Amino acid sequence: MYIGLDQGTASTRAILFDDNFAIVHEARREFKQYYPKEGWVEHNPEEIWQTVQEVLEECKRVAQSRSEKIRALGITNQRETIIAWDSVSKEVLYNAIVWQCRRTSNRSTFLRQNYGSAIKERTGLVVDPYFSATKMEWLIDNVESVKNSYNKGTLRFGTIDSFLAWKLTGRHVTDYSNASRTMLFNIHTLDWDDDLLELFNVKHEFLPELVDTAQYVGETSDGIPVASLIGDQQSALFGQTAYNKGDVKCTLGTGSFILMNTGEEIIKSRHNLLSTIGWKIGDEIVYALEGSVFTTGTLISYMTKNLGFGKNSTELTDLALQVGNNGGIYFVPALTGLGAPYWDPFARGLIIGLTPSSDKRHIIYAAFEGIAFSVAELVNLMKIESGLDINTLKIDGGVSKNDLVMQILSDAVKTVVERPINRETTALGAASLSAIALGLTNKEKLKEIRKIDRIFTPKQEREEEFERWKQAVNRALNWES
């Protein structure tokens, strides 16, 4: 058996797969989200570590009850979230600063205006508080314990994969996919960039050693090989068997993340998409074009918990289907700013078009359209940037279970949308990569065992609604700047 450890934004999951990568068991633990100030988002690293231990133990008990051996463990993670710890005391020095956190918005605006082109050329990233570098800089400048470790030379930074690898094996490492999300990594030279380290005042020795995406890292205290580290969205790309140039996947989770495999080519986007590393396995380096939507599953939670529109996604869908249209309402899901292609941390969510005949069902339908249109906008830009036709959009993540959203998405992109039976492709990617690292499987076998749950084909013309939604987006931009 294999374990895919998926450390996400809202929960930690360990999924136990059999030798054919069918799911045997899923262990899940949620953990607390901290919001110290408006726009700030934090996690407690020790609480995350506790959930990791619990889900791993649960999976190990299940494997033991079936007299099965766990052959390898792969780690996939929320990517840009950063943790600081001390290499001597072993103490975590501050809460994890989460990828959603906007505390460095003003600093990012300054950097974008003055260094944006140079940073994008080297890293493939648009300067935004989303990425790790300004979070590290903020920790060094504002947290006394981090300053002390900095001065002693014992400071260590890591994304979540790096932190967990250190906890499990004692090694301070990260893979190329996660490194490419820090805004400190040069995707051309495949190494940390000295000029960027100087710009952000981060020393090389504070950063993890680079390892391949599928590579033996070490063993846990009970002898399980840790053999893969990979960022969650790249892991889903691999788990969807999107191995070929032009393959595209979209994970609809807390946010939506669309990645196109661009092979060995780095596509320099003219529309503020990101160039990133998909994975590195031996001599194979795969790049990807990425678009990020910050609010997807969060929007559904917002409608149930904050607005009280229904108890869960199923109730919301039933209400939306009762009216079957948006009633002239457009919903821009910018609860934590807008990602690609706008990169506006000051944008805010917007509902526009209310009339006396509007009710919550129209708002729900408009919100579902907002999710689908946000994704469709980026898929369409990828077609333009790459010059490639996208015949199939491979989807996964919790929101992909929503048939209404998936049908609207298929209509909007005018493309087949394909949902696999195993939607846990993030954990699957990490688990299968760990098996590849140890020579226990290969890509051909993984393609053979992938099965489809449902295919959505375009049924309705939505161009007018799509264009009016884009007009609403323009009103949501630069809300507080």
Q: Which of 47, 76, 8 has its CA nearest to residue 253?
A: 8
pLDDT of residue 481: 56
User: Which tokens sit at 116?
Assistant: 């944006």
CB contact at 8 A, 326 and 297: no
Judge whether 420 and 451 are in contact, CB under 8 Å.
yes
Cβ atoms of residues 79 and 178 within 8 Å: yes
Two structure tokens written together for 347: 């944008």
How far is the C-alpha of 235 from the C-alpha of 219, rounded, in Å? 21
Q: Where are the domains of the chain?
A: 2-232
- The Cα 77–Cα 247 span in angstroms is 22
Cα–Cα dist 51/108, whole Å: 32
Which residue reads 């797969």 in tokens?
Answer: 17
CB crowding 118-140: b at 16 or more within 10 Å, else e: ebbebbbbbbbbbbbbbbbbbbb
Report how far residue 478's alpha carbon sits from residue 413's, in angstroms, rounded to the nearest whole number: 27
Token pair for 80? 């840009």
Closest of 451, 358, 457 to residue 416, by C-alpha: 457
Q: How far apart are CA 228 and CA 438, in angstroms?
A: 10
Architecture of the structural domain at 2-232: 2-Layer Sandwich (3.30)
For 241-261, give the DSSP string. Answer: T--STT-EEEEESSSEEEEEE
pLDDT at position 339: 86
376-379 — which CB contacts under 8 Å span 24+ positions? Answer: 376/409, 376/412, 376/413, 376/466, 377/341, 377/470, 378/258, 378/273, 378/291, 378/293, 378/340, 378/341, 379/248, 379/250, 379/258, 379/291, 379/413, 379/415
Q: Which residues of 445-462 are buried (b: 16+ CB within 10 A; e: fewer)?
A: ebeeebeeeeebebeeeb
- Per-residue confidence (pLDDT) for residue 60, from 0 to 100: 96
* CA 193 from centroid of its chain's CA atoms: 23
Q: Which residues pair with 248 in a beta bridge?
A: 260, 393
Q: What does the block give as tokens for 423? A: 């939607």
Mean pLDDT of residues grouped by 10 in the chain (481 residues)? 94 95 95 93 97 97 95 96 97 95 93 94 93 97 96 97 97 97 97 97 97 97 96 95 94 91 93 94 95 91 94 94 95 90 89 95 97 96 90 92 96 95 91 96 92 95 95 86 56
Cα-based distances in Å from 243 to 215, 238, 257, 268, 380: 18, 7, 17, 20, 21
Beta strands in 199-255 (DSSP E): 209-211, 214-219, 225-231, 248-252
Torsion of CA 355, 360, 362, 365, to 10 degrees: 150
Give me the pLDDT at residue 302, please.
Answer: 94
Closest Cα to residue 224, out of 158, 174, 168? 168
pLDDT single digits (tens) 220-232: 999 999 999 999 9
CA distance 294 to 415: 23
